[in-house]
Structures are given as C-alpha cells and as structure tokens.
Chain A
Amino acid sequence: MNEAVVPARPETRWQRIRQSNIYYYFLRDKVAMVSAVILLLMVAGALLAPVLAPQNPYDMAQLDIMNSELPPAWSEEGDSQFLLGTDDQGRDLLSTILYGTRISLTIGLFAVILQAFLGIVVGLTAGYFGGRIDGFLMRLADIQLSFSTMMVAIIVLAVFQAAFGMELYSRMAMLMLILVIGIAEWPQYARTIRASVLAEKQKEYVEATRVMGFGPGRIMFRHILPNCLSPILVISTVQIANAIISEAALSFLGLGMPPSQPSLGALISSGFEYIFSGTWWITVIPGIVLVVLVLVMNLLGDWLRDVMNPKLYKG
C-alpha cells in the first residue's frame, strides 16, 4: 500500500519488517528469540524429514525386528546406528520422531486454518450485522464452548471408529482429526473477531465505504477484516499449540493416527505399553519433543500478546 503512495522511497518488504516495532521488541526479548529459533529448527526438521531421517519409518523393508527396543546410542547397550534408540517395531526413533513431528504440525496447522476460516466468517457476520443474527450465532458459540473440545472430539472420533471399523478409520484418521479439531474450536476465533469488528464498525472508514455503496461482503472482507488481523495472529499461535496437544491426546487414546503412521502422541502411546519393563525412551523422548514444540509456541504466543496487546475477548 505504501509503495503506491510514496514512490520516491521504495521499500522492500524486508526493510519494512526491520523498521517495525515487532522486530525491535523481538531483538530485545531473549525468550522470544530462543523460542523462535527452536521452533524454526523443529519446523525445518519436520519439513526436511525425508532428507534428514536416516531411515524411512513407513518402509517395512528397511525395518528389522531384531533391532527393536534398542536404547539410545549413549547408553551401554545402544547401537551407534540408532542415535535415539529404536521402538517396539525396530524403527529408528529419530526418524520416527521427525516424521511424527511432521504429522503433528500438519494436523495442527490445517485444523487451525479450518478454525480460523469458520470463526472469521461467523465472527464477521455476527459483528457486522448485529441484532438477532449476532444473538443467535453467539449463543451457538457459547453452547459449543460449554462442551469442551476434547469431549466433542473424543465422542465424534470414537463413534466414527466404532461405525467404520479400525481398518477404514486408520486410513482417514488424519482428515478426521483435522475436521474434528477444526470444527470444535471455531468459537474461539468467532468471539475474538466479533469483538474487534464491533470496535472497527464504529470507525469512519467503514462509514465511508458504506456511503460509496459497497456491499456488506466487500466491506467485511476487504475493509474490516484486514484491521482485525493482529488478534487473529495472536490466538493462532496458541491455537496451533492447543491443536497439537489435542491431536496427541486423541492419538494416545487410540482415536488418532494409527501406529503404522505415528504422530508424536501415537508414538508416546505405543511406548507406554513398554514403560513398565524399563523401556523408557520410546515414551520419554517423543514426549520431550512434543512438550518443547508446544512450549515454544505458547511462549511465542505470550510474547506476541504482550507486544501487540490486542483487546482479546476475556472470560
């Protein structure tokens, strides 16, 4: 937008970022910087899993059951071939974790995109039109929120699993997880957006667009929405972290990803059966990865909230 108005001072996007407040605060907050670096490393590791992983955990031909339950390389019985040890099926734990992080992140990201899409449409509509539509949609959001996401997700997935049988279910598990987590959490976005729309609606530029004769759709999406983006950004970080936790919990209950294609939660779950016999690493190492992943996202979310300080919906 700026480039068009002031052609004399061409700015690249990178320069704009470097001059922004956020970048300034970012350089002064060690916790945020460390979290961002760790998050970037983990995302890179997940994206490059096929290149980085020493073994393809989905390829049964590469597995050898004789290698199962080997401890990490630094302990006495460890094998230097398997840095973090192996799981019950003889898969290299490092490779499985890289691929698992990939699955967890994918589900988290897509579930949040779905949440944001539904929430933005509902929130904009409720806030912009007000009145009865607003009352009805927000009542709906209240009711949906009063049933916890976890409960709804467990029940829906459990019923689907019982109805379809394990075989078919495990093939569509990823899609189901995204849909369920995505649909269950839309009120979070809807409430936040509605609150900012109510504030924006009073401003003069909205009045101006109305006078110019634009339709409600155009005003909502082209003019009001861009001004509501900062609260969306703030809750998105935390929501992705929450979605990843939910996914892990569902997979732990056996309602999520199948053992042949494990996410972090499914890995922890498969290791839990062996923890009583002293095979701690199958549970603990993916557990640490999961906690670190979620922790850095929560820390970044906290930091973003402090910096941007949007009026989040409270209570």
Chain B
Amino acid sequence: MLLFLARRLIQGLLVMLVISFISFAIQDNLGDPLREMVGQSVSEAERQQLRDELGLNDPFLVQYGRFMAKAVQGDLGTSYFFKEPALDVILGKLPATLELVFGATLLIIVLSIPAGVYCAIHPQSWFSKAILGWSILGISIPVFLTAILLIYVFSIELGWLPSYGRGEVDLIFGSWESGFFNKDGLLHLVLPCISLASIMLPLFIRLIRSEMVEALHTEYVKFAKAKGLKLTRIYYLHALKNTMLPVITVGGVQIGTMVAYTILTESVFQWPGMGFMFLEAVNRVDAPLIVAYLIVVGAIFVIVNTLVDLIYGLINPTVRLAGKSA
C-alpha cells in the first residue's frame, strides 16, 4: 500500500512538473510583460535595461527555474487586469465554481442511484424504459444547449428562476462566499446545477444500471434471496455495495471533467467562477492569470485522481495485493 501510494505521488508530481513547464512556456510566449508594466512611451534603450533587470533576457531554463522557485512559494505572478496576485484572484473565484460542482454532484448522487437501481430491478417496466430512453437523449444534448433551453423555458417564458449571476451570498468561515444559505442564492443555483448535472446523470444511470444487473446475477444475491432476506435490504445494502466500486473510479474522473464543463455552464449563466474568469482572461490576454488557472486546475485534476486511486486501493482488496507484489 505504501509503495502504491509513493508511486502515485511521484507520478502526480511528474505530471505537475510537466504542467508547470507547459504553463511557463505559454507565459513566455504570450504577450509582453514590459508593455503591461510601462506602456508605449519608454525608449528602446530603457526597455532593454529593464529587460536585463527583470531577467527577461536570461536563458529559458534559468527563467523557468526562477518561475518554479516562486511558484512553490505560491507566487504565480500578478494579473495584468486585476493588478492583484493571480493566485488570489483565482482562489477568490474558486468557491463559486466549487459550489456549482458540489450542487451538481449532489443532484447526480440523489437521482442516479435510485434511477439506476430501479432500471436494473424492473427491466421491463415502462418507467425504466423511459429513463433509459431519456438517458440516451441526455447524452446527445450538449450542456450549453441544455442550459440555454432551461433559461428559455424557466427564466424567459415562465419567469420562475433567475438566469444569470449568483444572487445574494453569505460569508461563512470568514472568507467563503456561499449561496447555499439564503433563498436568493439557492434559486440562482438551481438552473446552473441542473445543467451541469445533465451531462453526467445519464452516464451514471447507465453505469449503475449495468453494474447492478451484473450484481443481481451473482451467487450471493441468490443466496440472500433464498435465505429470505427482505428484497429492499438485498438490493440497497448488499448488491449496491458491490456496484459502487466502478462507480467510484468513473466518478472520480468525471469530477475532473465537471470542472471543465463549468467553463461552459459558467459562461452561459455568467456565473462568477473560475471558468468564466478564465475565458475573460483569455480575451484580455492576461498571461499570468491564464497560467495560474492552468496550474490550479492541473492540481485539482491530479489531486482528485490520486485520491480516487487511493480510495479505490483502500476498498478493493485486489488492488492492494497488486501493490504489494509489485
């Protein structure tokens, strides 16, 4: 287990190193930091002097080393537009994005498990056929289209729900702005969360259904039935437990994917999160902010994947054995 952990950590570090290298190469080629600092009115000689002082004429690797030394201390440069440290800007937007992902994940868990299990237990019922039919339709609708249609129906035609922004937010734990604790914030969360959940929901329903069907054919389920245990207990306790293994692996990867899709949802709903900020940074060619976003998102992906591997290793004995023998 320790070896397994160590190998995962080394791999994660390597990936982060590659990401930082790519990010730095991007920053090096994107925009001119001097122009951002001094504007157009400085003479060429002064520019050259400034370049030397800032070390912009040093070899690429030397500059990269300096960038890494700062990055490790949490300094990813200063945003050209916000005139604040890029990392602070991103961390300020992080709660909005995380709440969106959290809300969507909650919806997915609450809806996909009962739906998937129901479809597996009653394969012939019209309701499960409807769920499966809807799920293939759901896979085929791109998330931004779902979002637009939701806005069109619920905000424009019916006028029930707000179509953009976060609404009122409360401060919790000192610095975390949350929309979960008042009515206005919650109303603003509804449509974005549904849109974000709509990509993953069909996938999970189908996954849980197929794993559950497999579990229902196993010997231990037959034995439990013969023993006379209550059916709900067999389905939701014994069979579901074994269904969850693959769901966790896929789920972990999909949480990363959801961070990517927040860019789409946030841009439709003008949600003031990281993804929306990233698109704005791209339009303004705000190189330090783009780079900081790359590194933060890269770190989220690496951490989530490593955690998923670890959890999987903890609950699945066969992985634990493989780690030992290797």
Shortest A11–chain B CB gap in Å is 36
Contact with B along A131-175 (1 / 0, CB 8 A): 000000001000101111011001100110111000000000000
- Stretch of B48-56, B107-115, B134-142, B166-174 contacting A (4+ beta carbons < 8 Å): B134-142
Q: How far is it, in angstroms, between the C-alpha of A57 and the C-alpha of B228 when the chains are bound?
A: 69
B261 neighbours in A (Cβ, 8 Å): 150
Asked if A275 is at the interface (CB within 8 A of a chain B CB), the reply is yes
Asked if A7 is at the interface (CB within 8 A of a chain B CB), the reply is no
Prevailing SS type, chain B contact patch: helix
Interface residues on A, range: 35 or more
Shortest A298–chain B CB gap in Å is 5
- Stretch of A62-70, A111-119, A288-296 contacting B (4+ beta carbons < 8 Å): A288-296
Asked if B213 is at the interface (CB within 8 A of a chain A CB), the reply is no
Q: How far is it, in angstroms, between the C-alpha of A284 and the C-alpha of B249 when the chains are bound?
A: 36
Q: How far is it, in angstroms, between the C-alpha of A278 and the C-alpha of B253 when the chains are bound?
A: 39
With contact pairs A151-B257, A158-B278, A298-B136 given, residues A249 and B297 touching in the complex (Cβ less than 8 Å): no
B256 neighbours in A (Cβ, 8 Å): 146-148, 151
Prevailing SS type, chain A contact patch: helix
Asked if B193 is at the interface (CB within 8 A of a chain A CB), the reply is no
Q: How far is it, in angstroms, between the C-alpha of A284 and the C-alpha of B156 when the chains are bound?
A: 14
Give the residue among A162, A163, A302 with the most B Cβ atoms within 10 A. A162
With contact pairs A146-B256, A162-B30 given, residues A252 and B140 touching in the complex (Cβ less than 8 Å): no
Q: How far is it, in angstroms, between the C-alpha of A315 and the C-alpha of B309 when the chains are bound?
A: 13
Interface residues on B, range: 35 or more
Contact with A along B131-150 (1 / 0, CB 8 A): 00000110111111100110
A284 neighbours in B (Cβ, 8 Å): 149, 152
Q: Please tell me if the beta carbons of A162 and B290 are within 8 angstroms of each other in the complex.
A: yes
Q: Please tell me if the beta carbons of A299 and B148 are within 8 angstroms of each other in the complex.
A: no
With contact pairs A159-B30, A283-B148, A295-B137 given, residues A249 and B282 touching in the complex (Cβ less than 8 Å): no
Asked if A272 is at the interface (CB within 8 A of a chain B CB), the reply is yes
B26 neighbours in A (Cβ, 8 Å): 159
Q: How far is it, in angstroms, between the C-alpha of A291 and the C-alpha of B259 when the chains are bound?
A: 23
A302 neighbours in B (Cβ, 8 Å): 136
With contact pairs A154-B260, A158-B279, A315-B246 given, residues A245 and B142 touching in the complex (Cβ less than 8 Å): yes
> Which chain B residues have a beta carbon within 8 Å of chain A's beta carbons?
11, 15, 26, 29-31, 136-137, 139-145, 148-149, 151-152, 156, 246, 249-250, 253, 256-257, 259-261, 263-264, 267-268, 278-279, 282, 285, 287, 290, 294, 297-298, 301, 305
